[in-house]
Chain A
Amino acid sequence: MDINLMMSIFPNLLNGAVITLKLLVVSMFFGLIIGLIFAILRVNKNPIFNKFAYGYSYFFRGTPLLVQLYLIYYGLANIEFLRNSFFWVIIKEPYWCAIIAFSLNTGAYTSEILRSSFQTIKKGYIEAAQSLGVTKKITFYRIQLPIAIKQSLPAYGNEIILMLKGTSLASVITIMDLMGEARKINVLTFKPFEAFITAGIIYLFITFIIHNIVKYLEKKYRFQT
């Protein structure tokens, strides 16, 4: 192990880490919106919405993230119609392709997490709201949804960490994130251990911080039943 080399590549890797974090934050943001929409569709009684949301989450949870990324990055560019449309501005950029793939993927997992916490809400709350004459819509948005979000915090924390690890796949479609920088250094210096172990330390550090933030939020917003 060459400590000097590890120190000298550290700034390059940090630049990559900034891109990793950008990818993570943007795709978690879109993923949360997608997840919320699909969770609401999932608990909807209409079978069409219901089945559609189920199919969506089944597909994105049943296939590897790499397949989804390749499908969007290489596959969509194959469609003539998309290439001539305004969408081409977005899907020709690897960065946006990665964001689309990651958002759709984490959206599927988020919808599943939210759905399961919807189902664990005690019936009594809904019945109490009904007996007080609260409309169904308000019960859903003001009672069920906030409780579900609070209850799903621990699982969502795991999802953030899984997604952080998932963003490393962006490196295979030429994005220079933390993983991409580590790969470049490995190719240039032929020192795989130094390059990947330093990158691993940075990943672990980010994981550690996310873990602690989620733990703090969990404590603060814990829902007492």
Chain B
Amino acid sequence: MELLSFGDTGWGDELFFATLMTIAVSVAAMAIGFVFALIFTPLKLSKNKTLNIIGNFYTTIIRGVPELLVIYLLFFGGTGAAMYVASIFGYDGYIEINAFITGALAIGIISGAYSTEVFRGAILSIDKGQFEASKVLGIKKSIQFYKIILPQMLRLSIPNLSNVWQIALKDTSLISVTGLVEIMRQSYIAAGSTRDPLFFYSVAAVLYLILTYLSMKLINKLEIKYNKGY
């Protein structure tokens, strides 16, 4: 137990900050995923064939390849791509992209593909009459989306988004391979220096269980709150 004490002698504070890092990456990734989902959901629902293909391309590819592959591609390829872009503008030095940004972006792209599917399902389950009614009332398309469709879509997607959140939370453990110090990386370091992997990976497992448990409770509360009128 003294291995988990706070301060210089134990790993308690390190693991605590690593947990905060995991939460931060997951939240950032979820937010990035939302942006991707809000861009690609209309494409997937669009009547235009080309836009449709672009939307399907994104969700199919991302959901068909391993998460680790996306992370590696961004981590190893991102630096090269950024340096290439910079060299066009005349900067030839070495650029290193922050591990947090790469990680959040990678998980964001992945969770965005799942969120897109969730949003699409939610919009399709909204009664068609509502679209027709708002059209009859002469409401503009943009207002129809922001004031009528979006709020309902968000409410309907809470249960499935909770799954996406859990997946994103667990996927952040993969970012540890790029060196970002989150739960998994910190346990790896601690296990390496104390030669007690069994203990530290068990602690990591417990930390993840606590996170998934707490987020489930929180999301259940949200669900009840937003389903009050239904």
Contacts and interface: CB of A to CB of B under 8 A. Distances in A.
Contacts of B172: 64
Contact of B171 (A64, A68, A70): A64
Interface stretch (A71-79, A85-93, A215-223): A71-79
Contacts of A66: 173-174, 176, 184
A165 interface: yes
10 contacts: A64-B171, A64-B173, A66-B184, A75-B202, A166-B66, A168-B67, A172-B177, A179-B66, A182-B72, A204-B60
> 8 shortest A-B CB distances, which residue pairs?
A192-B76, A168-B66, A74-B197, A64-B173, A75-B198, A64-B170, A207-B64, A165-B66
B205 A67 contact: yes
Interface string A159-171: 0010011111101
B202 A71 contact: yes
Interface in A152-193: 161, 164-169, 171-172, 179, 182-183, 186, 192-193
Contact of A76 (B80, B191, B198): B198
A171 B68 contact: yes
B196 interface: yes
A76 B201 CA distance: 11
B177 A165 contact: no
Interface string B175-218: 01100000010011001000111100110110011001100000
A220 to B, nearest CB: 24
B69 interface: yes
Given A67-B201, A192-B73, A192-B80, A169 B68 contact: yes
B61 interface: yes
Contacts of B198: 71, 74-76, 78-79
Contacts of B191: 74
A9 to B, nearest CB: 15
Contact of A70 (B65, B66, B77, B197): B197
A33 to B, nearest CB: 24
Contact of A59 (B61, B63, B205): B205
A196 B191 CA distance: 30
A195 to B, nearest CB: 8
Interface of A: 58-59, 62-68, 70-71, 74-79, 161, 164-169, 171-172, 179, 182-183, 186, 192-193, 196-197, 199-200, 203-204, 207-208
Nearest to B76: A192
Interface residues of B, number: 37
Interface in B29-78: 60-61, 63-69, 72-73, 76-77
A63 B173 CA distance: 9
B71 to A, nearest CB: 10
A168 B205 CA distance: 20
Given A62-B213, A71-B201, A192 B173 contact: no
A78 B197 contact: yes
A150 B201 CA distance: 37
A68 B191 CA distance: 15
Nearest to A168: B66
A207 B65 CA distance: 8
Given A192-B72, A196-B77, A75 B184 contact: no
Nearest to B203: A67
Contacts of B61: 200, 204
Contacts of A171: 68
B208 A183 contact: no
Nearest to A205: B64
A92 B207 CA distance: 27
Given A62-B208, A63-B209, A79-B198, A204 B65 contact: yes
A65 B220 CA distance: 24
B67 A165 contact: yes
Contacts of B188: 70
A65 B169 CA distance: 12
Given A196-B73, A196-B76, A168 B68 contact: yes
A35 B188 CA distance: 30
B197 A203 contact: no
Q: Which of A67, A78, A192, A204: most chain B Cβ within 10 A? A: A67
Interface string B128-153: 00000000000000000000000000
